[in-house]
Amino acid sequence: MVALILLGAYAFLRGDEGLDGPLGGDFCGGDIPDPYYLELKPADVQNPDDVIRYSSSIKGYAADLDVFERAAFYEWYFKSHGFDVSFAYSEDFAGKGDGHVWLLVRNKKGEVVKVDPSFSEVGGQSMVPLSPEYTVYDQEFADIRAASDALGEDRWAWWKNENACDVLNENVFLAEKERAKRMAEA
């Protein structure tokens, strides 16, 4: 019975033109997808190693994104897996005159792990930097909408990139599949 429901959900979501299910169409290209954050299989958000593991799983899809898009892509992926994550933005990162953005991932104790998906572009040594320049930032944005309101949506629009959007569409499908499974079990 569950298999039939899952197959039906798959067929319903895939259709002839990509995703066209209840979440509404193919998510590539336009404005911020709605819904943006998904309820995916939760990570062990208290384990800093899971931050690295989840980062590694999407690294290849983000390779051709710019710094801001890459940060937004990782933020979306982390938040969709249950991490408490926000953006840190510096207008003059490390005194070099360029703006930069990275992520702040908090655990329940309030400890913060800084994650910079674009560390190599700014001369960093690690995706989880310990450098003092990462302790100084001008603004913190709680989510994509706050970041877009402050700095413009186009700056963050990773969903317009084909590789990254493939991940979005696949994860929308997985979220719908999980939702169908939960409904079938209820």
**pLDDT score recorded for residue 19:** 36
Look at residue 70 and tell me whether its pLDDT is greater than 70. Answer: yes
Sign of CA dihedral 154, 162, 26, 22: negative
Q: What are phi and psi of 20, to 5 degrees?
A: -145, 30
Which domain, by its residues, includes 108? Answer: 2-185
Over residues 159-169, the pLDDT tens digits come to: 998 888 888 87
Q: What are phi and psi of 139, to 5 degrees?
A: -145, 150
Query: Region 76-84: what's the mean pLDDT?
Result: 93
Torsion, Cα of 131, 108, 173, 5 (10° steps): 160
What is the spatial distance between Cα 86 and Cα 78, in angstroms, rounded to a whole number?
A: 10
> With bands split at pLDDT 50, 70 and 90, how would you rate the model's confidence at 43?
confident
What is the spatial distance between Cα 99 and Cα 64, in angstroms, rounded to a whole number?
A: 19
Which tokens in the block code for residue 29? 């290209």
Domain count, the chain: 1
Over residues 3-22, the pLDDT tens digits come to: 333 333 333 443 333 333 33
**pLDDT score recorded for residue 24:** 40
